[in-house]
Structure 1
């Protein structure tokens, strides 16, 4: 693994030493270093398990943003078949921060919509780091309308620091587009399930996550604003982001207690970035379970279920 987080520096040193030993052995076949390297591997596994056993909200924020975590495109390629991408909002442009289309999932037709951050410099710029403009949300609205017309379940994959706050986006009606996308999520008469795979930032996330069932990966976050943004507003100091993360209750564990989300999807030890294959499989299993629980509900029951879910939101935490 090449990208280590700040709190993983000790782990990086141990894994680096093990790799150095093996590199020396590859250069000199007479060297036998496997015993020493195996001992370092064992120590690294134990340290990794200890590090991730009880992550603070700020460390979870760092993990949720890890560049090596699988992104929306990875999930679509691994979990869906016959994926046919649909582009554009039929009004202004095609926003590459939002991808979606018709596909098959668990032997059923679905409409899948998600936010894609990109995985290298070129794709991150093309995808605008997962920050959608108004045309991205209007594309999502168009795809949700299409799914509703043909009675196809909707799956949304959320991973965004928030909606794009640029001047052009505001001029083209960013807040209105987010509001209409949220409204569309709440008004379609088909099952809607959502999974937050990394960052669920602000209205940019809610616009796709106003679903019947919402799941979060174990080390993902979901918040009304980034910890840095919150710290800048409350304390006029972005350096207090760690304090903001603690206070905002942005982790999957806190949000499940509040009734904001329905399910936490366990991640491999060390996070989804260390074992993307297992993380993607776990998300697929959770999505199937959520859809299976909704498929027998009638359209009006789905609407009532979604409405009650959002009216009740937060009541668990308040009652406690």
Structure 2
């Protein structure tokens, strides 16, 4: 029998409706190859009573803060800005600190990072929240290393995400971390969302319209994905896009939130992970097909991204999927 990972969603007054539903939906779609569900998600409030969601309806949970004792992972969804201070009650903060001390994984979606910050769980850590709240967040919590560009940050036992839909990215990342890419990709297909979104929040920040003559780099990105094993440099990418290197680099960062080099490395790492999970290729062959050239280079990039070596990654995720 599959032992399900237990997820508690702590809903506070003024909870953002979409944020509240994301964990149940995404984790509910994660299953093993036999179709057995891998997570069980439940919702609680500080006193077990109803709260008001930001959309104007009431949320009536089945549990109070004792649910955090049951959980393996605790998630705090975003809260409407006007309710942030009122939502951070003494009882909720104490329960979150106790859950963290007990070794539970703690996560937040969007402005839920404010709650983790108020509880002291993000002190001297990197964190993410919605880009629109970055200045306010930094003013309130200068001891936290806020990154307003990324979609989410995985700092081991505490994970935070950017606004709204970035909660989808974070939950899929956790499934991928727990059970590998095949399980995460299945869950993404069930949710009809992309299994992995490129770039960070900078691609969504409001900015002036492109100047006349500027074009998208999307076609070049698609072209690159079919040639990850080839040696590629910035000049080649710019030529394919029919732009100068300077224009291509600027447009690429505006559209993806990443430099071309960083984006290419990320795609190669994801391709290598897929090959490690789904093929019997040697590590040298995986490195070659993913465009890293040598096993040493693959090992360095994989360790920097997921914290493990290729063989260890393969042993873990080929056996769990």
- Normalising by structure 1, we get a TM-score of 0.30
Q: Which one has a larger percent helix, Structure 1 or Structure 2? A: 1
